[in-house]
Amino acid sequence: MTWEAMANIFQGITTLTESFSHNPRMAAARIGLILLGFLMIYLGKKGYLEALLMIPMGLGMATVNAAIMFFDPLNLHGGVGTLFVEAQAGATADAVKNAAEIVTILQIDWLQPIYTFTFSNGLIACLVFMGVGVLLDVGFVMARPFQSMFIAVCAELGTIVVFPIAQWFGYTPQQAAAISIVGGADGPMVLFTSLRLAPELFVPIAIIAYLYLGFAYGGYPYLIRLLVPKKLLGIKPAPAKKKRSITSGEKMLFAVVACVFLSFLLPVAAPLIFSLFFGVVIRESGIKEFIDLLQGPILYGSTMFLGLMLGVLCDANTIMDPKVLPLLLLGILALLISGIGGILAGYVLYFMTRGKFNPAIGIAGVSCVPTTAKVAQKVVSKVNRGAIILPDALGANVSGVITTAIIAGIFCSLLAK
Amino acid sequence: MSGWPEALLTYGLTIVIAFGIAGMIHLMVVLMEKFPPKKDN
């Protein structure tokens, strides 16, 4: 057997060795991404990062960077590619050419149907939002609406501040908006906004957003401990003034009114707003079969494919794009400023209530439902087991989803091409 | 650095809409407390 025949059989190794001689940076990136994939699986398994996303994402990332072969039917990547997915299929302005490319790739790449029919139209974001909606108890917001909204608005600071900073880095206003929405820490919202405003940067923005959401899970506890002294972390929040419990009918009424009102104000974001409140309405309607369907197969199925697809899209070509590096910085900056904004809101409420409000609750305004609320409770519980901040934190958390939807809607309306 | 006017406009509108929703919730809860739905026997 000739050397050429051997090289043709083991194309993963051949493409790697060839890229070491032609483009060593790309080869190093491939190896780095394979190792990063392993690390993500390990950290997800150990519980340091969100396992639901990190395990499928890590496996996808490691595998897709290993499985590069001599295959590039659309001539987009210098003769190499994989049989997983082609995110750039149909990205040109020619509609006829686009349709032909998409049909070709649909028949070759096994994950292409999921990408084309659920990612590129935002369906996956809406499905995740339906599942998230069914987990949301809007009663936490209804018990303390002004407090929750105040925290949520302050925790959008990162989104607002990073928008002009991203333009200073040379991104267009549309791209800057798609990048800055990472500060809302709401994955489906990032997918939706980047697809609407900056489809050319959709893949790197989505990857970075979800990667950082995983890191927020591990990094925010340190931010809380850094900004809130131990003495304040142990504060038990004052009980809500409301005496009677809020009925499911009232919650349903709120969800219906808010859904129609927000869709009326921001029709561009209506698919996401509808999906979220549809989940809430189903939860409060008590239709068990629908609740089980949304919170089980739909939420977990879409989250699994979301993680897997993001991992698979994370190939060295995409990551080594010079436009991606500033995104890494801007994404983390947005999340950091939003976290600080939320904690500052916590401090304002601490002073307004004369020391009866735990400032750590502020981090839950960053709307990564329910992760940031759980993170805040976990940090507080380590200092004072009796301090139950979860109801306040979940109120801020749910409000955070609403404020991020509002900002996404305004950005999409204001900056639509 | 460009982009600040749009950023501030977005933030201002977000604050108005968010507190509008908070006010709506508050009003809804107060009305529900004042006029609770009658229970059928």
How does DSSP assign A275-294, residue by residue?
HHHHHHHHHHHT-HHHHHHI
Chain A residues in contact with B2 by the CB 8 A cut-off are 164, 167-168
Tens digit of each residue's pLDDT (9 = 90 or more) over A211-261:
787 767 778 999 999 999 999 999 988 776 655 678 888 899 999 999 999
Q: Does A153 touch chain B (CB under 8 A)?
A: yes
Helix orientation angle between A202-227 and A324-352, rounded to the nearest 10 degrees: 40
Provide φ and ψ at A69, rounded to 5°: -135, 175
CB-closest option in A146, A161, A410 to B22: A146
- Contact check, Cβ <8 Å, A414/B4: no
Q: Cα separation of A255 and A129, whole Å?
A: 14
Q: Cα separation of A311 and A323, whole Å?
A: 19
Rg (CA), chain A: 22
Complex confidence, ipTM = 0.91
3-state secondary structure of A81: strand
Cβ pairs bridging A and B (under 8 Å): 89
Q: Provide the mean pLDDT of chain B.
A: 86
Chain A residues in contact with B19 by the CB 8 A cut-off are 146, 149, 153
Chain A residues in contact with B26 by the CB 8 A cut-off are 145-146
Q: What is the pLDDT of residue B31?
A: 87
HSE-up of A168 (CA within 13 Å, CB side)?
10
Q: Cα separation of A101 and A79, whole Å?
A: 16
Q: Cα separation of A198 and A54, whole Å?
A: 25
In chain B, which residue's Cα lies nearest the Cα of A261?
B21
| DSSP symbols for A143-174 | HSHHHHHHHHHHTTHHHHHHHHHHHHTT--HH
Q: What is the pLDDT of residue A130?
A: 94
Q: Which residues contact A387 (CB under 8 A, 6 or more apart)?
A: A233, A234, A235, A236, A237, A358, A380, A381
> B41 or A63: which carries more pLDDT confidence?
A63
Q: Cα separation of A353 and A203, whole Å?
A: 44
The alpha-carbon gap from A157 to the nearest alpha carbon of chain B, in Å, equals 8
Q: Cα separation of A4 and A312, whole Å?
A: 28
Q: Which of A386, A407, A404 is nearest to A396 (CA)?
A: A404
Q: Cα separation of A164 and A376, whole Å?
A: 29
Q: Does A270 touch chain B (CB under 8 A)?
A: no
Q: What is the pLDDT of residue A217?
A: 75
Q: Cα separation of A375 and A331, whole Å?
A: 20
Chain B residues in contact with A411 by the CB 8 A cut-off are 10
- Contact check, Cβ <8 Å, A406/B14: yes
Q: Which of A85, A80, A78, A79 is nearest to A61 (CA)?
A: A85
Q: Are A76 and A90 in contact (CB under 8 A)?
A: no
Q: Which of A157, A160, A162 is nearest to A344 (CA)?
A: A157
Q: How many residues does chain B have?
A: 41
* A309: its two tokens: 């697809």
Rg (CA), chain B: 18
Q: Are A259 and A402 in contact (CB under 8 A)?
A: no
- Contact check, Cβ <8 Å, B25/A142: yes
- Contact check, Cβ <8 Å, A163/B7: yes
Q: Which residues contact A305 (CB under 8 A, 6 or more apart)?
A: A56, A114, A118, A124
Residue type, A223: L
Query: In chain B, how many H helices and how many E strands?
Result: 1, 0
Q: Cα separation of A255 and A138, whole Å?
A: 8
Q: Which residues pair with A81 in a beta bridge?
A: A69
Q: What is the pLDDT of residue B1?
A: 66
Q: Cα separation of A60 and A238, whole Å?
A: 46
- Contact check, Cβ <8 Å, B29/A246: yes
* A262: its two tokens: 């927000």
Q: What is the pLDDT of residue A168?
A: 94
Q: Cα separation of A349 and A343, whole Å?
A: 10
Q: Cα separation of A358 and A366, whole Å?
A: 16
- Contact check, Cβ <8 Å, B14/A402: no
* A39: its two tokens: 């690390």
The alpha-carbon gap from B37 to the nearest alpha carbon of chain A, in Å, equals 10
CB-closest option in B11, B15, B22 to A145: B22
Q: Which residues pair with A69 in a beta bridge?
A: A81
Q: Does A402 touch chain B (CB under 8 A)?
A: yes
Q: Which of A126, A123, A378, A397 is nearest to A275 (CA)?
A: A126
Chain A residues in contact with B6 by the CB 8 A cut-off are 163, 173, 414-415
Separation in Å, CA A292 to CA A125, A141, A287: 19, 24, 9
For chain A, list residues with pLDDT below 50: none
Q: What is the pLDDT of residue A1?
A: 66
Q: Are B37 and A249 in contact (CB under 8 A)?
A: yes
